[in-house]
């Protein structure tokens, strides 16, 4: 057998691609914007807080990254259709969807109300389903395939003893949606995958990186389960994200990629 002729130079190239980033102002959303934007993609960024979104757009443009802002959350069909229309108006097509939005609400199940549970499910599951539906319609209509990346979590695979019944359930649902759409949209050349981080450095987790006794104790217990032996950094998510958004992943769909230092392997 002769040596395969493989040119890896353009495998991770997303230059000129149009990417809709939902939940762009969150910790992971900003990682997505920085990664895809600096790799040459054109961004349509969405979030519910218009002021934070405008600030992010300014930062992206100052870095030479093309970005259009849509101050909406994926709460309704109308919101999601508007997001897709805005991306099309600016860039002519939609190549990539990354759903980085979501929420958590921690409480023992006996203390959590159905309304609180439903709010988590709406934010993490129904919103992802609605925007995937709107983006998928456009990708199918325009042809040429596409990339959809959901945000899952190690908690979609593992339980948690501290009141995560809503969050774990929602992320397990994302995993199921990823697999279902991966099967459904394969014939269109649209890959659907999920990136599942564990703890990585962000404003919400900064306390866990601190040098006080509480942080050291919690960190030590957590790292006992992490073979790599450290907490995550934003750049640890950049590589798998770029893989899932580029043609390097054209034969990968319906997969959950755990960016967790081996946490879920044990």
Contact status, residue 70 vs residue 79, Cβ threshold 8 Å: no
- What CATH number does residue 26 fall under? 3.40.50.720
Is position 209 within any domain? no
- Residue 7 covered by a domain: no
* Residue 151 placed within a domain: yes
The answer to whether position 150 is within a domain reads yes
How far is the C-alpha of 253 from the C-alpha of 147, rounded, in Å? 9
Confidence at residue 204, expressed as pLDDT on a 0 to 100 scale: 79
The answer to whether the CB of 210 falls within 8 A of the CB of 160 is no
Average pLDDT, the chain: 94
Would you state the pLDDT for residue 216?
92
CA 166/CA 18 separation, integer angstroms: 33
What is the extent of the structural domain holding 113?
A: 14-201+233-260
**Both tokens assigned to 237:** 């998510």
pLDDT reported for residue 240? 97
Task: Work out the pLDDT band at 140, boundaries 50, 70, 90.
Answer: very high
pLDDT band for position 189 (50/70/90)? very high
Q: What integer pLDDT is reported at residue 266 of this predicted model?
A: 76
Compute the average pLDDT of residues 205-232: 90
Q: Is 266 domain-assigned? A: no
Rg (CA), the chain: 19
Do the Cβ atoms of 84 and 135 come closer than 8 Å? yes
Question: Is residue 87 helix, strand or coil?
Answer: helix
With a cut of 80, say whether residue 152 has pLDDT above it.
Answer: yes
Q: Which of 91, 164, 167, 258 is catalytic?
A: 167
What per-residue string of b and e applies to 172-200 under the rule 16 or more CB within 10 Å gives b?
Answer: bbbbebbbebbeebeeeebbbbbbbbbbb
Quick check: 208 pLDDT over 90? no
- Please state the rounded mean pLDDT for residues 108-120: 96
d(CA 14, CA 7): 16
Asked if 258 is an active-site residue, the reply is no
Q: Answer whether residue 218 is part of any domain.
A: no
9 lies in some domain: no
CB atoms within 10 A of CB 113: 10
Percent of the chain surpassing pLDDT 70: 100
1, pLDDT greater than 80: no
- pLDDT tens digits, 39-83: 999 999 999 999 999 999 999 999 999 999 999 999 999 999 999
Q: How many domains does the chain have?
A: 1
Banded pLDDT at 180 (limits 50, 70, 90): very high
pTM of the model: 0.94
Q: Is residue 246 part of a domain?
A: yes
User: Tokens for 110?
Assistant: 């006996």
Residue 121: per-residue pLDDT:
96
pLDDT at 191: 98
For position 199, what pLDDT does the model report? 85
Tell me the mean pLDDT in the region 5-11: 89
């Amino acid at each position: 057998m002769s040596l395969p002729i493989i040119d890896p130079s353009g495998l991770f190239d997303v230059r000129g691609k149009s990417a809709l980033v939902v939940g762009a102002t969150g910790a992971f959303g900003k990682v997505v914007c920085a990664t895809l934007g600096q790799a040459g993609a054109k961004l349509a960024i969405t979030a519910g807080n218009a002021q934070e979104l405008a600030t992010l757009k300014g930062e992206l443009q100052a870095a030479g990254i093309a970005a259009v802002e849509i101050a909406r959350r994926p709460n309704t069909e109308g919101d999601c259709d508007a997001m897709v229309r805005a991306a099309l108006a600016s860039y002519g097509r939609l190549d990539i969807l990354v759903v980085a939005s979501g929420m958590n609400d921690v409480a023992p199940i006996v203390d959590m109300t159905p309304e609180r549970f439903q709010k988590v499910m709406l934010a993490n599951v129904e919103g992802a389903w609605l925007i995937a539906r709107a983006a998928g319609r456009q990708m199918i209509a325009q042809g040429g395939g596409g990339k959809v990346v959901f945000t899952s979590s190690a908690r979609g695979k593992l339980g948690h003893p501290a009141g995560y019944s809503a969050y774990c359930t929602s992320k397990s649902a994302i995993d199921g949606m990823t697999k279902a759409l991966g099967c459904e949209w394969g014939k269109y050349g649209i890959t659907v995958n999920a990136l599942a981080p564990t703890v990585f450095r962000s404003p919400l987790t900064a306390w866990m990186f601190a040098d006080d006794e509480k942080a050291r104790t919690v960190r030590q217990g957590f790292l006992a389960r992490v073979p790599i032996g450290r907490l995550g950094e934003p750049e640890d998510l950049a590589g798998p994200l770029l893989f899932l958004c580029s043609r390097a992943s054209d034969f990968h769909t319906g997969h959950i990629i755990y960016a967790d230092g081996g946490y879920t392997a044990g």
